């Protein structure tokens, strides 16, 4: 493990407050030109364009990842010039996706570290002995970092590589790497990596052009999102990076802030609790008091609003589920300028005998809002009540998914669950920031994993 690399990453991020690593893969092939002087001119032009791009993105991006296409095209001397020109602004990761025998890996790594890369990426699949080990020991000698690639983002990765994710993660961790590369297009893998190694640093590619939304990998537990074409090929890369940063902050970073604020205000507790569903749980989330903490309440309701805006869903009304879903839903509805109604816990014993308080017109689409979901029992009751009144329900939204079958049970009724964070993600943040002990963290994660898929009562 390289303290220097991790410190460099932390120092630069503190200055930029950006969780973006730029993947630098400009389309460029000097070998399509036949004359050596033309090739050289093309190389110098590209190197200059890259230098100005990096000058433009200073402060917006924390790291730069350079892969083989640019290294082949420019040669390592020009890559060294690029690194030296912005050495103070970024940490530089080389991405050769190394996968050879240790001796050859070592020969490659020595050159890459000598030209100034701070870390490099190696396939965990190559194994430790006679594979990763020589790179890790060389990196230790040279005070550089090594990142283990444990899964990939493209669809074919699920044919073989990603099936072995847990083993690869374990190999990379045992080899003593400084961090993992885990794809944003398979966010559950990011969450399992963070569950298993909560203090590790995770870099997630596949955001933007490959389909994962900006901030989604951070929300799943990654520390950095690796973004290439969405920034480098935008007409104005700096303006696009600024927009993306805003989107990331609205989703990914606000989740961390919410998790810490929940812990600070004792809205998450560990111990022995009986849930509304009757299940026992080693942790409890109580969001009923959140409106009493103005800053926390604003963070939570703003996160609902930001997520709904980024998903671009259309609906006519918002329905809050009693108890905690009522104040949250009411404020979200107010912020989105939508009419609000709510679902009672028990039918009224007099008057209308209805579970619903508020107006629904037949055919209205209603978004249901609650604080958390376990098996989905309360949400299913709310869905039924709204449908009985002629309303249409396609989406239900919660802050925390306790991962105990809620999403699956709702899906069976044709409703998609949108959750801002999973309980595992919440626990990772609490553990990472010292709000819960390692024993409690492991106990809760074990409970979540064992109780996954529980059925609605």
Q: How far is the CB of 378 from ligand BMP (least distance, A)?
A: 39
Identify the residue among 13, 86, 166, 210 touching ligand BMP (CB under 6 A). 210
Nearer to ligand BMP, 66 or 418 (CB): 66
For the segment 171-190, give every residue that binds ligand BMP (CB under 6 A).
181, 183
Distance CA 95, CA 318 (A): 46
Q: How far is the CB of 212 from ligand BMP (least distance, A)?
A: 9
Tokens 């559950």 belong to which residue? 188
Identify the residue among 102, 215, 228, 406 touching ligand BMP (CB under 6 A). 228
User: Does residue 164 interact with ligand BMP by CB under 6 A?
Assistant: no
Q: How far is the CB of 442 from ligand BMP (least distance, A)?
A: 29
Distance CA 349, CA 185 (A): 49
Nearer to ligand BMP, 153 or 375 (CB): 153
Q: How far is the CB of 2 from ligand BMP (least distance, A)?
A: 20
Stretch that binds ligand BMP, among 75-83, 204-212, 276-284, 334-342 (CB under 6 A): 204-212
> HEC string of 384-440?
HHHHHCCCECCEEEEEEECCCCHHHHHHCCCCEEEEEEEHHHHHHHHHHCCCCCHHH
Identify the residue among 4, 44, 59, 67 touching ligand BMP (CB under 6 A). 67
Whose CA is closest to 249, among 56, 64, 11, 18?
A: 18
User: Does residue 206 interact with ligand BMP by CB under 6 A?
Assistant: yes
Question: How many whole angstroms from its chain centre is CA 403?
Answer: 17
Read off φ and ψ for residue 185, nearest 5 degrees.
-75, -10
SS3 at position 149: strand
Characterize 389-415 residue by residue with b for buried, 16 or more Cβ atoms within 10 angstroms of its Cβ, and e for exposed: bebebebbbbbbbbbbbbbbbbeeeeb
User: Does residue 377 interact with ligand BMP by CB under 6 A?
Assistant: no
Q: How far is the CB of 63 from ligand BMP (least distance, A)?
A: 12
Stretch that binds ligand BMP, among 70-78, 208-216, 271-279, 397-405 (CB under 6 A): 208-216
Tokens 């007099």 belong to which residue? 350
Identify the residue among 51, 229, 344, 413 touching ligand BMP (CB under 6 A). 229
CB-CB contact of 360 with 391 (8 Å):
yes
User: Does residue 63 interact with ligand BMP by CB under 6 A?
Assistant: no
User: Does residue 205 interact with ligand BMP by CB under 6 A?
Assistant: yes
Q: How far is the CB of 190 from ligand BMP (least distance, A)?
A: 12
For the segment 94-133, give every residue that binds ligand BMP (CB under 6 A).
95
Read off φ and ψ for residue 58, nearest 5 degrees.
-55, 125
Q: Say whether the peptide bond before residue 323 is cis (omega within 30 degrees of 0).
A: yes
Identify the residue among 30, 102, 131, 208 touching ligand BMP (CB under 6 A). 208
Residues that bind ligand BMP in the complex, under the rule CB under 6 A: 23, 25, 67, 95, 152-153, 181, 183, 205-206, 208-210, 226-230
């Amino acid at each position: 493990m390289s303290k220097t690399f991790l410190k460099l990453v932390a120092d630069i991020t503190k200055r930029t407050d950006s969780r973006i690593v730029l993947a630098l893969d400009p389309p460029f092939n000097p070998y399509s030109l036949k004359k050596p002087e033309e090739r050289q001119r093309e190389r110098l032009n590209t190197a200059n364009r890259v230098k100005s791009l990096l000058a433009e993105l200073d402060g917006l991006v924390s790291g730069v990842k350079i892969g083989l296409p640019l290294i082949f095209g420019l040669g390592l001397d020009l890559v060294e010039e690029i690194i030296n020109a912005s050495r103070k602004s970024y940490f530089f990761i080389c991405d050769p996706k190394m996968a050879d025998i240790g001796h050859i890996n070592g020969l490659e790594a020595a050159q890459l570290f000598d030209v100034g890369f701070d870390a490099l990426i190696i396939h965990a699949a190559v194994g430790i002995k006679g594979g990763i080990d020589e790179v890790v020991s060389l990196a230790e000698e040279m005070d550089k970092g090594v990142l283990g690639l444990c899964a990939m983002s493209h669809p074919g990765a699920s044919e073989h590589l990603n099936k072995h994710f847990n083993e690869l993660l374990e190999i990379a961790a045992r080899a003593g790497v400084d961090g993992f590369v885990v794809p944003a297009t398979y966010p559950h893998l990011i969450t399992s990596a963070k569950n298993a190694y909560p203090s590790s640093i995770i870099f997630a590619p596949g955001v933007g052009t490959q389909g994962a939304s900006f901030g989604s990998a951070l929300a799943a537990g990654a520390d950095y999102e690796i973004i290439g074409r969405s920034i480098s090929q935008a007409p104005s890369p700096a303006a696009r990076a600024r927009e993306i940063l805003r989107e990331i902050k609205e989703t990914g970073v606000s989740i961390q802030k919410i998790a810490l604020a929940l812990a600070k205000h004792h809205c998450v507790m560990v111990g022995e609790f009986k849930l509304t569903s009757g299940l026992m749980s080693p942790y409890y989330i109580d969001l009923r008091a959140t409106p009493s903490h103005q800053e926390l309440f604003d963070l939570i309701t703003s996160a609902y609003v930001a997520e709904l805006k980024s998903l671009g869903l259309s609906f006519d009304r918002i329905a809050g589920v009693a108890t905690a879903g009522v104040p949250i839903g009411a404020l979200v509805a107010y912020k989105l300028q939508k009419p609000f109604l709510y679902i009672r816990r028990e039918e009224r014993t007099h008057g209308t005998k209805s579970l619903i308080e508020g107006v629904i017109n037949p055919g209205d689409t209603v978004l249901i809002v609650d604080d958390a979901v376990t098996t989905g029992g309360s949400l299913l009751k709310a869905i039924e009540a709204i449908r009985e009144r002629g309303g249409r329900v396609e989406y239900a939204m919660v802050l925390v998914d306790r991962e105990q079958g809620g999403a699956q049970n709702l899906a069976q009724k044709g409703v998609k669950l949108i959750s801002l964070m999973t309980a595992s993600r919440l626990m990772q943040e609490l553990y990472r920031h010292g709000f819960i002990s390692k024993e409690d963290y492991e106990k809760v994660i074990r409970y979540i994993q064992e109780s996954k898929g529980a059925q609605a009562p």
